């Protein structure tokens, strides 16, 4: 069974540890994932800005990289959402590519969904004695419908106190190029999000999308706050390391 990692450009370049954590968790269940080197980026930054030719060039690497895979797992609800929601549209005028896109969609899973729905795991046996709050990313929850899976996984972590994030479903203001082009609006949104995060008095903020986490962490640091920001895979991996 060929399970492949779709690393995403953000994790590849900035947060490689997230990819490592994810791969380690899979390995603990006997899944020896592979990493097809052909992959680059799902194309979302260009797609969302309205540059579809550019997005297609990038998306093609994904179609090709994962042709042989049985499952594709990615630590991002947003990138999985891009593939699920927009690849058919992106390749609608190319029959062969369209079929490839259909295949890719069928086998591509966001990390927490893969764990819960495919592997059938909700308790990874982790121990993480901290107050944690969870930010559900918009694309993961709304485009992809990943809502309960991360919570299920977190609920089973020993010692973890999950504090509900007020206005959790509000966007953090990232939105890719939106955060640069409309920086004042985006800044106001992330500032509100951080207010809510700090209100919880949690020690750790956890999420399933690195774009949002990078945005929120960046503003936390900007305000001199040291609260830890982690991807769900990192948290579970760290918690599993304690019990292993």
Partner 1 sequence: MKATNEQTVLERAKQALNDEFLRNAVKLTTEKLKNGRLSAAKQLGNWEEWRERARQIRQHTIAHLDYYLNQFADQARKQGVHVHFAKDGKEAVEIAIRIAISKQAQTVVKSKSMVSEEIHMNEALEQNGIESVETDLGEYIIQLAGEMPSHIIIPAIHKNRKQIAELLSRDANETLAPDTAVLAGYVRKKLREKFLAADIGMTGCNFAIAETGSIVLFENEGNARMVSTLPKTQITLMGMERIVPTWDDLEVMATMLPRSATGQRLTVYMSGITGPRRPDDGDGPEEMHVIILDNGRSLQLGDPEFQELLHCIRCGACLNACPVYRHIGGHSYGSTYSGPIGAVLKPALNKNVLEWDDVANASSLCGACYEACPVKIPLHDMLVYLRRRKNEAGAGLCSEKWMMKGFKVVMAKPHRLRAVLKAGRLGQMPLVRDGAISAHLGPLKGWTAYRRFPALAKPSFRERWPHLQAELKEKARRASVKEHVQLRLKQIREKRTKKTGGNRDE
Q: Locate tokens 């019990």: which residue?
A: 243
We find the least distance from the C-beta atom of residue 8 to partner 1, in angstroms, to be 9
Question: How far apart are CB 161 and partner 1 at their closest, in Å?
Answer: 27
- Separation CA 72–CA 64 (nearest Å): 12
If one asks whether residue 96 binds partner 1 (CB under 8 A), the answer comes out as no
Q: Using the rule CB under 8 A, is 13 a contact of partner 1?
A: yes
Q: Which is nearer to partner 1, 119 or 202 (CB)?
A: 119
Q: Does 108 bind partner 1 (CB under 8 A)?
A: yes
| Binding residue for partner 1, selected from 79, 154, 165, 171, defined by CB under 8 A | 171
Measured from the CB atom, the residue of 170 and 238 that comes closer to partner 1 is 170
Of residues 133-152, those binding partner 1 (CB under 8 A): 138-139, 142-145
| 76 belongs to the binding site for partner 1 (CB under 8 A) | no
Place of tokens 């690849």: 87
Told to check if 74 binds partner 1 by CB under 8 A, we report no
Return the residue of 3, 63, 205, 232 that touches partner 1, per CB under 8 A. Answer: 3
Task: Tell me if 185 contacts partner 1 by CB under 8 A.
Answer: yes
CA distance 171 to 137: 7
Residue (89 or 131) nearer to partner 1, CB? 89
Distance of CA 11 to the CA centre of its chain: 9
Can you spell out the DSSP letters for the chain?
--EEE---HHHHHT-HHHHHHHHHHHHHTT---B--TT----SHHHHHTT-HHHHHHHHHHHHHHTTT-SEEEES-HHHHHHHHHHHHHHTTT-HHHHHHHHHHHHHEEEHHHIIIIIS--S----B--SEEEE---HIIIIIS---SHHHHHHHTSBT-EEPPPTTTTS--S-TTTHHHHTHHHHHHHHHHHHHHHHHTT-SEEEES-HHHHHHHHHHHHHTT---EEEEHHHHHHHHHHHH-
Contacts of partner 1 in 206-235 (CB under 8 A):
214-215, 217-219, 221-222
Asked whether position 190 contacts partner 1 by CB under 8 A, the answer is yes
Which span sits near partner 1 by CB under 8 A: 152-160, 172-180, 201-209, 231-239? 172-180
# chain residues binding partner 1, by CB under 8 A: 93
User: Whole-number minimum distance, CB 197 to partner 1, in Å?
Assistant: 14
List binders of partner 1 among 41-70 (CB under 8 A): 41, 43, 45-54, 57-58, 60-61, 70
Is 121 one of the binding residues for partner 1 (CB under 8 A)? yes
Instruction: Find residue 5's DSSP bridge partners.
Output: 73
């Amino acid at each position: 069974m060929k399970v492949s990692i779709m690393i995403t450009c953000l994790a590849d370049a900035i947060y490689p540890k997230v990819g490592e954590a994810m791969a380690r968790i899979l390995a603990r269940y006997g899944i020896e994932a592979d990493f097809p080197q052909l992959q680059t980026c799902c194309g979302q930054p260009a797609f969302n800005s309205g540059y579809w030719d550019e997005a297609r060039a990038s998306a093609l690497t994904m179609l090709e990289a994962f042709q042989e895979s049985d499952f594709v797992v990615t630590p991002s609800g947003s990138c999985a959402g891009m593939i699920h929601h927009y690849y058919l549209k992106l390749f609608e005028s190319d029959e062969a590519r369209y079929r490839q896109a259909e295949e890719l969609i069928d086998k591509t899973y966001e990390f927490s969904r893969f764990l819960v729905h495919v592997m059938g795991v909700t308790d990874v046996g982790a121990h993480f004695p901290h107050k944690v709050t969870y930010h559900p990313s918009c694309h993961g929850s709304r485009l992809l419908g990943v809502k309960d899976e991360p919570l299920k996984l977190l609920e089973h972590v020993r010692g973890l106190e999950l504090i509900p994030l007020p206005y959790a479903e509000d966007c953090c203001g990232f939105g890719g190029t939106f955060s640069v082009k409309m920086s004042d609006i985006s800044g106001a949104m992330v500032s509100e999000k951080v207010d809510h995060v700090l209100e919880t008095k949690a020690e750790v903020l956890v999420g399933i999308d690195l774009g949002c986490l990078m945005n929120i962490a960046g503003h936390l640091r900007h305000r001199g706050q040291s609260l830890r920001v982690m991807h769900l895979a990192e948290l579970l991996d760290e918690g599993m390391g304690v019990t292993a």
